[in-house]
Amino acid sequence: MPRTLLDWLEVKLTTNLTQPLLNLRVPPPRRPGVGPVVAWAEGPDGEVEAACSRGRIEIRAVTSRIWRVIVAGPGTPPYRSESVVCLETHPLRAQAAGGGTLRIAGEEPGLGALVEERTGRLEFHFAGRILHRDSAPPSSRRGWVASRKRSPEPELYLGFGEKTGGLFHNGRRRIMWNTDNADMGRRSDPIYQSCPLQIAVRSDGSAHALFFDNPHYAVFRVGGEGPNPETRYAAAGGPLVYYVLAGPTLPEVLEQLTLLTGRSPLPPRWMLGHHHSRWDPEESQEKVLATAREFRRRGLPCDAIHLDIGHMEGYRCFTWSRERFPDPAAMVRELHAQGFRVIVIADPGIKRDPDYALYREGAARGLLCTDRRGRVHHSPVWPGPAAFPDFTLPEARSWWGRQFRGYAELGIDGFWIDMNEPSVFTARRTVAPGVRHRGEAGQSGRPGTIGHRSVHNLYGLLMARATREGLDALVPEGRPYLFTRSGYAGIQRYAGSWTGDNRSSWEHLRMSIPMLLNLGLSGQPLVGPDIGGFLGRPTPELMARWLELGALYPFCRNHTSRWSLPQEIWSFGPDVERIGRRYLELRSSLLPYLYTLAREASRRGAPILRPLLYEFPSDPACQSAEIAETQLMLGPHLLAAPVLAPGIATRRIYLPAGEYWQDWWTGECLPGGGHFEVEAPLDRLPLYVRAGAALPLTDPSPNSDEAAGRPIRWRVYPAAAISGSLYVDDGVSMGYQRGECSLLGLQGERRAAEIRVRIEREAGGLSPVLVRHPGLAVERVELSGGTPRRVEVDPERLPWEGSWAG
């Protein structure tokens, strides 16, 4: 918390008054459309272009279910994207359909469109169903672009990246402007990231989406809950560019989105362990080592220790405090010897200091952002007046990426980039709009003429790109992990994310669920908030409940601020330590399952944490806000219903339709398709396994490296149909890209009193598939609720070593 009442008032006023007012941009009330279509033609690359009286409309098929629309007025800069990485072309054809309408279709079944020639309004349909139609002509004029889309039937709206509030965005205003919000609450908007993606889900569970690829300041007025909801979108620059994603299911929407914007690289296995961090301006080598030793002494699973800005010399990036970190190499060696990975932070603000080599070189080579007169721009941040790399320049990105060499040579395992909205200590909380960039970025105009307003939402993504490309060059055979605070659509190609400066409150615990679910639905699978809250002091009860839920976050990190009391698990007393151990050991035992989900995310874009309607689209109860925002799926098999308020020992849950759901802790089976009041004492997270699951598990370990050396067991929950997957590789290298991995599939069925399962290799090149190799041996298959009388193994299908047991 702020140190004094004056500090508290300053945060409140700056965050909620001056910062929004200074950054506010208001779309003009009327923007004429592009006008009537005067001519149309089929282009050489298969696109259809309609020339209008005040602009043009271009429609291109990326696939039969992904179409791009560009609406450009006179003088509109050309479209260039930092987000879209896939632009295949599938030919379209156009023909007059009568009644002043132009019909556009592909050569294979998929999306189709109608263009009203009199106005340029568009309508999109798929499989005989209208997705949406323009309720006003699209416009691109006087610096603003706008679109108004109306649905013919009620829809629920999800996506939009990192947003507070609930899972559904109906009736809300959503602003795209990356903002360091120091007073984040349930109604705060905007915050750290921007993702102009609107996913629509209808009552039958079908889904489709609109992705507006425009990094400028933008405002959505999202459709309400009426029979024909209308969404209005306006952006302060660039052409109007959007992609129509036909779905028609949520998993297919995610595949389509991440085909466009890229998928998360497979993380190192240790990233999925438990991480510990604290922002301490007096951070020291001895404090870090003492914390690590205490984790091991107490037997609490922990994989990574993070070093915040306190490790630097005067907040100079890529330096170590000579007094407090006299021998970082020795510290890293000891942490590695204890089984910890080490993550360090890097901020973009480079201290203005002529004796600081990084600043001196960046200024001399013209790699820093400038003012309108071409002088290096400075704004106050942690080190005082600071300059900022111009990440729109390829040479600046290469230069930045090379700065990580010293860390790589020390064996640092991961990196954390922060303050990259960029955030500065002024009333605006970011650099002034007149700051100049000299490269090319997004829809920003000619090189050398780019104002910061056109680059702002891309800055964090470009910093992540520079860092990732540098690490890939420095550690080509490794998998160093990178995560970021700020980003734009496509950030998952380079980095995972955490949700910024949250608070130690029940409200923030509750709102973490819809935030992470929407981030996952926006293409980012590796996400998490600070467990326990960054600002404030959680009560022991809140900390216990947060640890229970946090054990299921894709990114599981306990992090707190300089103004808070210590937040190590043991600092809350023996009861919280016992509960924390139980749930960190649960996470450790789930590592084979989590790693398999991470591989699925890297291949198909599927989120790791999922709303219930992702897995149960035809179940209307899963579209209820109360259920959708307080329960979640970890992959396809595990359902959690965390306690999100104090003083509660039972909670009402909903279990979607299915044969049964089995309580993880007691083994009790409950039928699917009903509401239940279940026990939830302080040490119990209601957690259920779906009938038909085959879960790969291992014994709990102090860290993921030790877990990798332990055999895996496959626990089967019998049902009419049984399925599960297990992905295995060495967890740290790029060997998996050369086939040094295996994806195993377990399929089975129950027939009367007989249960049959078969395991087959579905992908990868390890041969034999199962060998006595650390992390690659399946020791046994367990049958939940019983012991098989006979097990048959087909050696032709699966080379096998090990034993089978119930």
> Nearest Cα to 707, choosing from 608, 779, 774, 769?
774
Chosen domain end from 227, 261, 295: 261
Can you point out the beta strands (E) in 563-656? 609-610, 632-634, 638-640, 650-655
214 and 73 within one domain: yes
E strands in 64-195: 66-72, 92-98, 101-106, 111-116, 122-126, 129-141, 144-150, 156-159, 173-176, 193-194
Q: For residue 491, what are the contacts with CB-CB under 8 A and spacing of at least 6?
A: 193, 460, 461, 464, 484, 497, 524
E strands present in 606-765:
609-610, 632-634, 638-640, 650-655, 661-663, 669-670, 674-679, 687-690, 694-698, 712-716, 721-728, 742-751, 754-764
Gyration radius of the chain's alpha carbons = 27
Specify the pLDDT at position 755.
Answer: 86
Question: What's the pLDDT score for residue 14?
Answer: 86
**Cβ(646)–Cβ(542) below 8 Å:** yes
Residues involved in catalysis: 418, 421, 501
* pLDDT value for 224: 96
**In sequence order, what DSSP letters do the residues of 308-343 get, joined into one string?**
-GGGSBTTBTT---TTT-S-HHHHHHHHHHTT-EEE
DSSP output for 435-499:
-EE-S--SS--STT-EEHHHHGGGHHHHHHHHHHHHHHHHSTTB--EEEES-EETTGGGT-EEE-
250 and 103 in a common domain: yes
Among 657, 690, 723, identify where a domain stops: 690
Amino acid at 615: E
Q: What whole-number distance in Å separates Cα of residue 465 and Cα of residue 96?
A: 45
List of the chain residues with pLDDT < 50: 1-2, 768-777, 793-806
Enumerate the β-bridge partners of residue 193: 487
Task: State the Cα–Cα distance between residues 289 and 331, nearest whole angstrom.
Answer: 7
Residue 681, domain member (yes or no): yes
Q: Do 743 and 682 fall into the same domain?
A: no
Judge residue 784's burial from the number of C-beta atoms within 10 Å of its C-beta, 0-12 exposed, 13-18 middle, 19 or more buried: middle
How far apart CA 666 and CA 687 sit, in angstroms, is 10
Same domain, 201 and 234: yes
Type and span of the H or E element at 39: strand 37-42
Residue 105 in any domain: the answer is: yes
Same domain, 721 and 631: no
Flag whether 549 is in a domain: no
Place of tokens 């302080």: 682
User: Per-residue b/e over 283-322, b at no fewer than 16 CB within 10 Å?
Assistant: bbbeebbebbeebeeeebbbbbbbbbbbbbbebbbbbbbe
- Please check whether residues 754 and 646 belong to one and the same domain: no
Domain-located, residue 522: no
User: What does 190-214 look like in DSSP terms, one character per residue?
Assistant: S-SEE--EEEEE-TTS-EEEEEE--
The answer to whether residues 160 and 253 belong to one domain is yes
For residue 799, what are the contacts with CB-CB under 8 A and spacing of at least 6?
768, 769, 770, 771
- What does the DSSP 8-state code read for residue 57? E
Residue 500 to residue 755: CA distance in whole angstroms: 48
Q: What is the pLDDT of residue 797?
A: 46
Strand partners, 244: 67, 210
Report how far Cα 57 is from the mean position of its chain's Cα atoms: 32
Here the tokens at position 345 are: 């932070």
Q: Provide CB contacts within 8 A for 286, sequence distance 6+.
A: none
- Looking at residue 654, which CATH number applies to its domain? 2.60.40.1180
pLDDT at 10: 82
**In one letter, which amino acid is 257?**
L
Q: Is it true that the peptide bond before 152 is cis, omega within 30 degrees of 0?
A: no
Q: How much of the chain is helix, strand and coil, in % rounded to 5?
A: 25, 30, 45
Same domain flag for 229 and 191? yes
Both structure tokens of 557:
């990190």
Q: Are residues 242 and 139 in the same domain?
A: yes
Beta bridge partners of 208: 200
Tokens 């507070």 identify what position?
164
Does residue 356 belong to any structural domain of this protein?
no
| Inter-CA distances, 747 with 1, 149, 760, 799, Å | 52, 44, 8, 17
**C-alpha distances in angstroms, 566 versus 291, 693, 779?**
11, 40, 41
> How far is C-alpha 368 from the chain's CA centre?
29
Q: Are residues 672 and 716 in the same domain?
A: no
From the list 534, 536, 587, the residue with the least C-alpha distance to 559 is 534
In a domain, 204, yes or no: yes
Other beta carbons within 10 Å of 281:
11
- E-strand ranges in 495-631 read 496-498, 527-528, 530-531, 556-558, 609-610
Residue 424 lies in a domain: no
Pull the structure tokens for residue 133: 């139609």
Total domains in the fold of the chain = 3
Q: Quick one: pLDDT at residue 708?
A: 83
Task: Supply the CATH number for residue 162's domain.
Answer: 2.60.40.1760
Identify whether residues 641 and 778 lie together within a single domain: no
pLDDT of residue 200: 98
Cα–Cα distance for residue pair 639/610, rounded to 1 Å:
9
Distances (CA, A) of 477 to 409, 480, 728, 738: 14, 10, 17, 11
- CA 794 to the chain's CA centroid: 41
Q: Treating both helix axes as pointing N-terminal to C-terminal, what angle do 357-364 and 394-402 enclose, rounded to 10 degrees?
A: 160
C-alpha pair distances (Å), 511 with each of 179, 535, 551: 18, 15, 16
Residue 243 lies in a domain: yes
Q: How far apart are alpha carbons 87 and 213 in whole angstroms?
A: 13
8-state DSSP, 295: H
Residues 72 and 213 in one domain: yes
Find the domain containing 640 and state its range: 609-690
